[in-house]
């Protein structure tokens, strides 16, 4: 039985698609793609694709960018959420990178401070969006 598996594995190993280079994609590209998918899912991309809400809500005076109430959302709300989540993720990444500068305390402190500020701004932005949607 093991010789059968060896023959199959050898044949699969020799099989190649001619003319199509099969290279492993860059890890940086994979990280960016995974981050974009994560941000889309967190910001309600599946809801937007399934329900197809309007981008802006027309009113008599000015267009409104968000629904009142927490049960629905518009495309503009999703875009704002993606931006805020990206800012928060960038802050987390900068805070993580600050640990690599143990022998350069000034650079580590600056990266950590900028990372914490970005995460705080993202948190405040998300809270403001929820506050505005609730109509308070």
Compute the distance between CA of residue 2 and CA of residue 130 in angstroms, rounded to an integer. Answer: 62
Q: Can you tell me the mean pLDDT for 84-107? A: 93
CB-CB contact of 123 with 88 (8 Å)? yes
Q: What is the DSSP string of 15-58?
A: ---TT----PPPHHHHHHHHHHHHHHHHTTHHHHHHH---SSB-
Label residue 102 by pLDDT band (50, 70, 90): confident
Label residue 17 by pLDDT band (50, 70, 90): low
Quick: pLDDT tens for 18-38: 666 667 778 888 888 999 999
Residue 119 above 90 pLDDT?
yes
The contacts of residue 113 (CB under 8 Å, 6+ apart) are: none
User: What pLDDT does residue 107 have?
Assistant: 94
User: What pLDDT does residue 95 have?
Assistant: 95
Compute the distance between CA of residue 57 and CA of residue 66 in angstroms, rounded to an integer. Answer: 7
């Amino acid at each position: 039985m093991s010789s059968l598996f060896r023959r199959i594995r050898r044949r699969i190993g020799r099989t190649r698609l001619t003319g199509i280079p099969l290279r492993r994609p860059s890890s940086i590209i994979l990280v960016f793609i995974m981050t974009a998918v994560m941000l889309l899912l967190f910001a309600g991309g599946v809801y937007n694709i399934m329900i197809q809400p309007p981008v802006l809500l027309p009113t008599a005076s000015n267009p409104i960018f968000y629904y009142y109430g927490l049960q629905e959302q518009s495309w503009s709300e999703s875009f704002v959420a993606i931006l805020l989540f990206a800012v928060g993720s960038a802050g987390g990444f900068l805070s993580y990178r600050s640990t690599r500068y143990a022998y350069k305390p000034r650079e580590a402190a600056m990266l950590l401070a900028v990372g914490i500020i970005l995460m705080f701004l993202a948190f405040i932005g998300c809270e403001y969006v929820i506050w505005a949607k609730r109509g308070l």
